[in-house]
Amino acid sequence: MARSTLNQAVDAAIPTGFSSFLGVRRTARLRRVMRQTGLPASEILDLALELLDIASQRIAPSPIHRTAIGLGAARWRNVSAEERSRLLRLAAQARWAKYRAGDEEADQGSGAPPDPAPTSESSD
């Protein structure tokens, strides 16, 4: 008897227009959650919206981060793997050459003798 009274209270708590808007499956789920928790429909929907808000903030990256990732991918979109490898190798070599040039200038400025130039000594 108490169960039928609870079901009637749950049914009365959901307006007819709202239940037709939700559809049969979602209305049944809402009624089940209302019976299990004892909370009114408005509080359950508030909690559901809060959970969705939290989940969407964790899933979706910030717009700035998403744009930066997109720009990096777009840069190499129509470049073959071989060409990309060649260009990245040249960039790495240029960085190392710049690093080495900075070391040589530091060595010359410190009074240390420069590295001897490689000689081609051939032994006959």
The pLDDT assigned to 78 comes to 85
Q: At 93, is the pLDDT very low, low, confident or very high (cuts 50, 70, 90)?
A: very high
Contacts of 41 (CB under 8 A, 6+ apart): 13, 14, 18, 30, 34
The pLDDT assigned to 89 comes to 95
Average pLDDT in the chain = 77
Secondary structure of the chain in HEC code, one letter for each residue: CHHHHHHHHHHHHCCHHHHHHHCHHHHHHHHHHHHHHCCCHHHHHHHHHHHHHHHHHHHCCCHHHHHHHHHHHHHCCCCCHHHHHHHHHHHHHHHHHHHHHHHHHHHHHCCCCCCCCCCCCCCC
Q: At 101, is the pLDDT very low, low, confident or very high (cuts 50, 70, 90)?
A: confident
Q: What pTM was estimated for this model as a whole?
A: 0.40
The pLDDT assigned to 63 comes to 64
pLDDT in tens, 39-65: 988 899 899 999 998 888 877 766 665
Triad 3, 20, 28: Cα angle to 5° = 35
The pLDDT assigned to 1 comes to 47
The pLDDT assigned to 46 comes to 92
